[in-house]
Chains A and B, each alone.
Chain A
Amino acid sequence: MYLLKILGSLIIIISCSLIGYIYGNTFSKRVKNLIYLRNCIQLLETEIMYSSSPIPEALENVFKKGNKEISFIFKEIKEHLLSDRSRGIDESFQVICNKYKTHLNFTFEDIEVITSLSKNLGKSDRLHQQKFFKLVITQLEGQQIDAEEKKKKNEKMYKSLGLLSGIALVILLI
């Protein structure tokens, strides 16, 4: 009988702390993805500023060079863009970014920053493009700081909350 009780409480504790761990992890995942995203945007900037490659080619190259965890969205954007000639860049960015918003643990504001870039992407000369890139990269840095703060505040809390609520549940049940 004891053995069964111990086994049951262990299961409860493990699953509760797992829930806490997974939820807490979303914060550090967001930070990580934001960093990767910033790298990708910087790659895109290099493609545009120095190689002057057209958008579809630039997006493809970003996909190849960037961290695959996030750069796949650039390939999807390219495919979405080229699949229908009546689409604009901003539309493709919007659709694909919103599609993967939860998968990448991005908030509404993060998506807003990326789509603000897409509204100007490719529509002016290089000098102006650089300005937009600078702006977006600063904004992404801001988002990253915000994400890090939230991570610091919440990650540990949710992880321990999971574990503790598991223990509390066990105590109550015993």
Chain B
Amino acid sequence: MAPQKSNNFIKKDIKFETNTLNEVIKYLDPALVQIINKIPNDIKERVEEIRIRSGKPLMVCLDGTDYIINKDGSISLNNFNPYISTSLNVSKSFQILSNYSVYAIEEELKNGFLTIKGGHRVGVSGKVVYGKNGLETIKDISSLNVRIARAKIGVSDDIMKYIIKNPNTIYHTLIVSPPQCGKTTLLRDMIRNLSNGMTKYKFRGLKIGLVDERSEIASLYNGQPQNNIGIRTDVLDGCKKYDGMILLIRSMSPHVIATDELGDEKDINAIHEALKAGVKVIATVHGEGIDDLNSKPNLKEIIKEKIFERIFILDNSKGVGTIKQILDGYTYRSVREEDNNYVSLKNIRKSNNYNFV
């Protein structure tokens, strides 16, 4: 296969498995499963979201667009003969998703989503109940959004060389990206590579402490990470970034601390703490570019201090997961070797062979 000249790290031509969807729909109301099973296989492979709203047509999202599912299992852009999901469909699916036990997912429900086996996340909306301690629970569930997680293993293999600093250490790295551009995906795969080590660069792998505040990176289910995050990674799930970083530095002696979505003042303090302890930091942040970060109150500070030595800027100009720039944190100059700036499927396959060293 000819290498593609593109900076995109999430390749559209990676074959998805139909099995993933079949695993997920086990958790839905059997009546809905019947309809979803009728969807042609090539579409099934690409489904990213299943949307169930009571009294509204059943929908799937793929390639960034949503489609209505018809009663015969075909999908269309406009109303033709849509399958209307009932409130019973929603409540039964919710029951199965929660394993018949709302009390067991109390804490998760407060964040509006729950994680099921396989790391898939289900967003929930309905009537919100407030109590003494703020948001207490969501009841009378009216919509479910089943987001199918397809971990994209190998997406960071070719850019690891910009992070790894010999001997056996890494640069402080910041991933800057607007929402839905693949920053968590990229971070997750970087963690995996750093944790497993890469023989290609004679990199042995480092102990990584992961603070997964929104349970998006490791997707813990019953304490088991559902995504491949490497063999030297310790996860603190659902923990606030500040508490988590301090806790990990104290208890797990990590070489690297990884976390998602910096922003609060406390997060910045935590990064300073990490620096004091001599720990490397990999983090992501919402933003369009360096100028954008400079306009944000808390982030401005760390950019000025030039803590991060490598800054990755993502966008979706060439589809989800385009790496726009890789900057040096001091000079803001690109460090990318321009002739090597593509990630080809071939390379991903090849490097997959020695991922688990």
Chain A residue at smallest Cβ distance from B27? A85
Return the CB mask of A47-80 against B: 1 if under 8 Å, else 0: 0100011111010000000000000000000000
B102 partner, pick from A53, A56, A84, A124, beta carbons under 8 A: A124
B29 partner, pick from A58, A85, A121, beta carbons under 8 A: A85
Chain A residue at smallest Cβ distance from B26? A85
A56 partner, pick from B29, B92, B100, B103, beta carbons under 8 A: B100
Cβ contact within 8 Å between B92 and A54: no
Q: Report if B246 contacts A (CB, 8 A).
A: no
CA distance A55 to B97 in the complex (A): 12
Instruction: List A contacts of B29 (CB < 8 A).
Output: 85-86
Instruction: List B contacts of A122 (CB < 8 A).
Output: 95, 98, 100-103
Cβ contact within 8 Å between A54 and B104: yes
Cβ contact within 8 Å between A48 and B100: no
- Contact status of A54 and B106, CB under 8 A, knowing A85-B30, A86-B29, A86-B30: no
Q: Report if B4 contacts A (CB, 8 A).
A: no
Counting contact residues on chain A (CB < 8 A from B), the size range is 20 to 34
Q: Report if B195 contacts A (CB, 8 A).
A: no
Instruction: List B contacts of A125 (CB < 8 A).
Output: 102-103, 106, 136-137
Cβ contact within 8 Å between B106 and A126: yes
State the majority secondary structure of interface residues on A.
loop
The size of the chain B interface, using a CB distance under 8 A, is 18
Instruction: List B contacts of A88 (CB < 8 A).
Output: 92, 95
CA distance A85 to B89 in the complex (A): 12
B24 to chain A, nearest CB (A): 13
Chain A residue at smallest Cβ distance from B110? A125
Instruction: List B contacts of A126 (CB < 8 A).
Output: 103, 106
CA distance A58 to B99 in the complex (A): 11
Return the CB mask of A80-119 against B: 1 if under 8 Å, else 0: 0100111011000000000000000000000000000000
B135 to chain A, nearest CB (A): 12
Cβ contact within 8 Å between A124 and B103: yes
CA distance A1 to B103 in the complex (A): 75
Cβ contact within 8 Å between A54 and B99: yes
A53 to chain B, nearest CB (A): 7
Cβ contact within 8 Å between B100 and A52: no
- Contact status of A89 and B30, CB under 8 A, knowing A125-B106, A125-B137: no
Chain B residue at smallest Cβ distance from A53? B104
Instruction: List B contacts of A53 (CB < 8 A).
Output: 101, 104
Cβ contact within 8 Å between A81 and B100: yes
A54 partner, pick from B31, B101, B139, beta carbons under 8 A: B101
Chain A residue at smallest Cβ distance from B29? A86
A91 to chain B, nearest CB (A): 11
Instruction: List B contacts of A52 (CB < 8 A).
Output: 103-104, 106
CA distance A53 to B104 in the complex (A): 6
- Contact status of A129 and B30, CB under 8 A, knowing A85-B96, A86-B92: no
A105 to chain B, nearest CB (A): 29
Instruction: List B contacts of A48 (CB < 8 A).
Output: 101, 103
Cβ contact within 8 Å between B31 and A129: no
Which B residues, 86 to 122, have Cβ-Cβ distances below 8 Å to chain A? 92, 95-96, 98-104, 106
Chain A residue at smallest Cβ distance from B92? A86
CA distance A125 to B31 in the complex (A): 27
Interface centre among B30, B92, B95, B139 (most CB of A within 10 A): B95
CA distance A123 to B100 in the complex (A): 7
CA distance A139 to B139 in the complex (A): 27
Chain B residue at smallest Cβ distance from A128? B103
B268 to chain A, nearest CB (A): 34
Cβ-closest 5 pairs across A and B? A54-B99, A54-B101, A55-B100, A126-B103, A122-B101
A-B contact pairs, 23 of them (CB 8 A): A48-B101, A52-B106, A54-B98, A54-B99, A54-B100, A55-B100, A56-B100, A58-B101, A85-B29, A85-B30, A85-B96, A86-B92, A121-B100, A122-B95, A122-B100, A122-B101, A123-B102, A124-B102, A124-B137, A125-B103, A125-B106, A126-B103, A126-B106
A positions within 8 Å CB-CB of B: 48, 52-56, 58, 81, 84-86, 88-89, 121-126, 129
